[in-house]
Amino acid sequence: MRSIIVAYSKLEDAKKIRAILVRHGLNVNGVCTTVDRAISLAGTLYGGVVICGYRLADGIYLDLAEGIPDSFQILLVTSPRNVDDEVLPANTVYLPTPLKVHELLQTLSPMLGEVPQRRKKDRPAPRNEEDQKKIDQAKEILMARNHMTEPEAHRYLQKCAMDSGTKIVETAEMVILLASPG
- Asked if 111 and 26 touch (Cβ cutoff 8 Å), the reply is no
Average pLDDT, the chain: 86
Looking at residue 115, its pLDDT comes to: 42
Question: Is the pLDDT at 38 greater than 90, yes or no?
Answer: yes
Q: What distance in Å separates the CA atoms of residue 5 and residue 159, rounded to the nearest whole number?
A: 48
Q: What distance in Å separates the CA atoms of residue 16 and residue 29, rounded to the nearest whole number?
A: 14
Report residue 49's pLDDT band, with 50, 70 and 90 as the boundaries.
Answer: very high
| Structural domain boundaries in the chain | 3-111, 129-179
Please write the tens of the pLDDT for every residue from 58-111: 999 999 999 999 889 999 999 988 887 778 888 899 899 888 998 898 888 888
Q: What distance in Å separates the CA atoms of residue 47 and residue 70, rounded to the nearest whole number?
A: 8
Report residue 124's pLDDT band, with 50, 70 and 90 as the boundaries.
Answer: low
Q: What is the CATH number of domain 129-179?
A: 1.10.10.10
Looking at residue 120, its pLDDT comes to: 44
- Asked if 95 and 51 touch (Cβ cutoff 8 Å), the reply is no
CATH 3.40.50.2300 for the 3-111 domain, yes or no: yes
